[in-house]
Amino acid sequence: MGQQSTGRMNVESFNLDHRTVAAPYVRVADTKQLPGGAVITKYDVRFTQPNEGHLEMPTVHSLEHTMAEKIRDHVDNVIDVSPMGCQTGFYFTVVNQDERGGMLAFLDVLAAALGDVVTATEVPAANEVQCGWAASHDLAGAQQAAQAFLDQRDAWQEVHR
């Protein structure tokens, strides 16, 4: 394993002590105000406990496709849904979330999108025309992960152990 940095890092999540968090959780990882006044919020949506578990890549891939498509059926302020390289969760980047009810409203939208994953009959855009690795999908794995996350909604805002 690599050496632990002793100084402050540029990437917010590198400053998070991953030993002290308790997945599943949702937390605000960053906010930035743009020159025009818009506010960008990045949410850390953690499905599995860091360094103890992870989602398999086909599951991550199918969650990414399905959540990214389905969340936009509920709101229009989502900029991006990005999987974490460590395979423990996703970043959701949204604009002007505070004007839409803040964290609690985001949690409701996230729950709705995850519910859509659970009931999906296919992974959106899981074909060679629309996806760069169409063979790497697992809808059943995505549905199982989404349901497990939904089943623990009461704990989503409890970030630390």
Q: What is the mean pLDDT of residues 30-58?
A: 97
The mean predicted confidence, pLDDT, of the chain is 96
Q: Residue 1 pLDDT more than 70?
A: no
- pLDDT attached to residue 148: 98
Q: How far is CA 85 from CA 60, 77, 125, in A?
A: 10, 24, 21
Q: Which residues are CB-neighbours of 127 under 8 A, at least 6 positions away?
A: 134
Q: What is the pLDDT of residues 108-158, one digit of tens each?
A: 999 999 999 999 999 999 999 999 999 999 999 999 999 999 999 999 999
* pLDDT at residue 4, rounded to an integer: 72
Span 22-51, average pLDDT: 97
Residue 48: which residues within 8 A CB-CB, separation 6 or more? Answer: 23, 24, 54, 55, 87, 88, 89
| Domain parsing of the chain, residue ranges | 16-155
CATH top-level class of 16-155? alpha beta
